[in-house]
Amino acid sequence: MLAETPEIYGAEHLLTRRAVSPAVAKKLLDRIEWWRQYTARNGDELNNNPSFGNKLGGLTTILEKSLGAVAKGGSMPLSAVYEYAEMVTEPGFVFMDTPGYDPVAVTGQVAGGCNVICFTTGRGSVSGFKPAPCIKIATNSEMYRHMEDDMDLNCGDIVTGEDTIEAAGRRIFEEVIAVASGKKTRSEEFEYGDNEFVPWQVGAVT
């Protein structure tokens, strides 16, 4: 399941063209339109610059961030779009409409039935997201070396050409199977995650 609707803004066409039906594509576009209205009502907008941390990481526009967010969804057909915390019933690749704020997004995903979280981080987030186990995936090797005790996997070598997306994807897949079979994540070992149950609050949460 992919989530965080504001994070895909501007690149939603890359998902709608993978939709299994026009109805699924329309539901995603309807959620994007809802977000335009939601942010406008609260004096905000979706078409904004990346955050300070994103800029330090090398992003220059929100579209660049959106392209990266959509890329995390792989290449499978999009079989369904769900509203926040809605129970997931469709197999395959699905999207859940959530804010981009990680604790709120993951809370909705877990409420919808997700039981393993794969969390990519370039800045070194140590969130644990109880009650689901959280596999933390470092997106750059420098951060991974500094925080190796807190990260489960390093995919930073893709950027330098020392690793491939396919090989890294295989490692992530095998880690998901291991964690689903009882292996503890680093967050579970350190008992992180008590503070990340954060339901969607009233007001502009993007």
First and final C-alpha spacing in the chain:
18
User: CA nearest 119: which of 110, 66, 57?
Assistant: 110
Q: Which residues, 6+ apart, have CB-to-CB distance to 113 below 8 Å?
A: 87, 88
| Structure confidence at residue 205 (pLDDT) | 64
Q: Output the tens digit of pLDDT for each of the chain's 206 residues.
A: 999 999 899 899 999 999 999 999 999 999 999 999 988 888 877 776 556 666 666 666 666 768 777 888 888 999 999 999 999 999 999 999 999 899 999 999 999 999 999 999 988 888 899 999 999 999 999 999 999 999 999 999 998 899 999 999 999 999 999 999 999 999 999 999 998 899 998 666 66
| Structure confidence at residue 74 (pLDDT) | 84
The answer, as to whether pTM is greater than 0.85, is yes
| Structure confidence at residue 41 (pLDDT) | 86
Tokens of 174: 């095998």
Please classify residue 88 by burial: count the beta carbons closer than 10 Å to its beta carbon, then call 0-12 exposed, 13-18 middle and 19+ buried.
middle
| Structure confidence at residue 149 (pLDDT) | 94
